[in-house]
Amino acid sequence: MEKLSLKIDNAQKHISKTLDINSRYDAKGKEKIANAAKQFESMLTQLMLKSMNKTSGGMFGEEGYGNDMFDTVFEQEIASYMGDSKSLGIAEMLYKKITGEEMNSAMRMKVSHQINPLKIKSANTIPPADTTSVKPSTSSLDRLGKFDEHIEEAANSFGIDKNLIKSIIMTESAGNNKAVSGAKAKGLMQLMDSTAVDMGVKNVFNPRENIIGGTKYFAQMLRQYSGDLKLALAAYNAGPANVEKYKGIPPFEETRNYINKVLSYFNHFNESQL
């Protein structure tokens, strides 16, 4: 059988030339692509750091008060810094591959600002709940008050509004640190065993560990969905796989009621401070 020969003047031209697809995307579309690319780079960097920390026992060692929490904070900050400084260049590579053009510094800084919205401080930024306002009972508030110190610590560590943490706890367990759901979610923030392990929680019924682990996980969801609170809450309740599957809030009545309840509690806590 004769060999087929292909005439190629430049062996690199078929793999080095970027597709001319700029016309497919307007400025807003390119911004979304840059945002997704930068977010992917940040998450990949954080996973790399987390993997290295597991191998070495963490930046601050395996023992000691709060060391796992400090590891997470440093992982997030270092990942953000590395992304801003173009240390890996993954975001630029993905952006160029998709759009056919370079990601300029102005775009990088704009995107960098967008994907770190972990601090939600104003009730004005939160969409109102779609259902009738829900208010916590006196007994649940009494239970919740016992954990103010841990909630404050988690809020400061992960940049999450303490009233939002309280609202998630109220919705998940009504402040009962021994709560166990039918799906075997446990503790104040109803952590599944696999999530607890991933978040470094050794005793899921320990109030501090549960709140730190739950807030850490919620902060990751908030980062994953670029600060979209409703999507982050949907992922916390139904899992990120379902959010991706339905390309938004899953059509589950439980999840929609969950989001509305958290937001209703959040508005209540904010209004009570006025």
Tell me the C-alpha distance between 23 and 15, whole Å: 21
Residue 3 is given by DSSP the state: P
Q: Cβ contacts of residue 260 below 8 Å, gap of 6+?
A: 129, 130, 131
Tokens, residue 207? 């109030």
- 149 in catalytic set: no
Is 214 within 8 Å of 235 (Cβ atoms)? no
Q: Determine how many CB atoms are found less than 10 A away from the CB of residue 115.
A: 22
Evaluated on CA atoms 174, 176, 179, 185, the torsion sign reads: positive
Rounded to whole angstroms, how far apart are CA atoms 215 and 168?
9
Angle at 10 between CA 9 and CA 15, to 5 degrees: 140
Question: Active site residue: 75, 92, 172, 209, which one?
Answer: 172
CA distance 154 to 151: 5
Radius of gyration of the chain, Cα coordinates, nearest whole angstrom: 22
**What residues are labeled active site?**
172
